[in-house]
Amino acid sequence: MAKGNFNKLVNRNKPVLVDFYADWCGPCQTMAPILEETGKEMEEKVDVIKVNVDKNQAIAQRFGIRSIPTLILFKNGQIAWRKAGLLTKNQLIAHLQKAL
């Protein structure tokens, strides 16, 4: 993903939840279906995108991604919420509803 494309995605009016992950990461694989379900349930309020840290190292460095999975919610290009590690679907939805 080019830096310009990423900036366009997170600078929209609709909030964007970014999942920083890697294919080899076990916790990331556990989080994937939770993010998919949450994205479907909250599709009118938030978009969910995935950023592979191995393929997008510059973007990962820009946001100081040190552990994965890391979730960052962007509202109008600004970080509204950030969390590293696993969450249940209920925890994720609760965090998003507070931040939105």
Active site residue 25: yes
* Contact present, 45 and 95 (Cβ < 8 Å): no
Q: What are phi and psi of 39, to 5 degrees?
A: -60, -40
Which residue in the list 16, 18, 25, 96 is annotated as catalytic? 25
Active site residue 8: no
Which residue in the list 16, 18, 28, 35 is annotated as catalytic? 28
Longest CA pairwise span in the chain (Å):
33
End-to-end CA distance of the chain: 26
In which residue are the tokens 């993010």 written? 35
Active centre residues (catalytic):
25, 28
